[in-house]
Structure 1
Amino acid sequence: MNGVVEAANKNIKKIFRKVIDNHKGWHEMLPYALLGYKTTVRMSNGATPYLLVYETEAVIPAEVEIPSLRIIQEAELSDADWVRKWIDQLTLIDEKRMVAICHGQLYRQRIIRAFHKRVRAKMFEIGQLVVKRIFPHQDEYKGKFAPNWQGPYMVHIVLSGGALVLSKMDGTE
């Protein structure tokens, strides 16, 4: 879930950057930029964020000022017809959400398949010499000019799932 939020934030940042860089009155253009983001169909789930949150498609400002066929049709319905139409739309909401979920699952499977094409499994054996990568979030990290690797280490035990127990060259685990 965290990756999804980061991706959404990245897209919103891009939109903000374009609006701020290209317009002097960027604060007036911001609501339109956000509306565009909320009403654009996402590749990952096949639905707009607006539809998934508010359970209906957005009415864009142009449709309010210059009524579209959808607005005109809703305005000319009798109360009973409008209620019937609204109930029909409510029954379609679950179907739209299920379609979005299925689309999202298929998209996720495609991404996983593409990822697994590039990943190569590495098999380690007891006694093999390896080096250990130091990631920035680890305590051993000393800054950007420090080495990225520690070692050499010797593979002491190979656990299931690819985990390893390493020992230093003097034999301590």
Structure 2
Amino acid sequence: MYYATLNGLAETFNKTLYNLLKKIVNKSKNDWHIRIGETLWAYRTTFQTPMQATPYALVYGVEAVLPLKCQIPSLKITIQEGLTEKDNVRLRLEGLEALDEKRLEFQQQIECYQACLSKAFNKYVRPRSFQIGELLLIV
């Protein structure tokens, strides 16, 4: 509430969630509470340009296996099914150990993206300086 930058990010997310819900709910708009789970899943598994990853991958370190991918055999699923439980656990632990490094990389990508956006915005801002005693119109 007191952190302005975080508040802006929350407002941006709320706007995105609202727009997604608008596309999914029926005309009467009374089933939004039922559809919010689907909407959040769609958001979390969608590639985000600033992060160059999905929010799901940032949290869990791997991409989500969508239900359709379980029905249509893929290389990843085939490899996981062929592993023993011990090998599968070892691979998961290795992925979790590399997760902090991935998160730092994503954080750097986000900072670069925000710097580019800021630079593009500031290109059109005219700097103004005011002197003490100068009259100003405050709207």
TM-score, scaled relative to structure 2 = 0.78
1:155 paired residue number: none
Q: Which has the larger radius of gyration?
A: 1
Q: Report deviation, 1:77.
A: 0.7
Task: Decide which moves more: 95-104 or 63-72.
Answer: 63-72
Aligned-pair Cα RMSD in Å: 2.7
**1:82-104: per-residue Cα shift (whole Å, max 9, x none)?**
23322322232122211111101
Aligned equivalents of 1:113, 1:21: Cα separation in 2: 41
User: Which of residues 76, 89, 101 is equivalent to 1:70?
Assistant: 76
Q: Report deviation, 1:113.
A: 0.9
**1:32-85: per-residue Cα shift (whole Å, max 9, x none)?**
443221111212222211122333321111123334321221111123322332
**1:9-42: per-residue Cα shift (whole Å, max 9, x none)?**
11111110011258x9x77765444322111121
Runs of at least 4 residues of structure 1 off by over 3 A?
Answer: 26-33
Structure 2: runs of 5 or more not aligned: 1-5
Aligned equivalents of 2:35, 2:74: Cα separation in 1: 23
Q: Which has the higher helix share?
A: 2
Larger RCO: Structure 1 or Structure 2 (Cα < 8 Å, ≥ 6 residues apart)?
A: 2
1:97 paired residue number: 103
Q: Which amino acid aligns with 1:118?
A: Y
Aligned residues: 133
Identity value in percent:
35
Structure 1: runs of 5 or more not aligned: 134-173
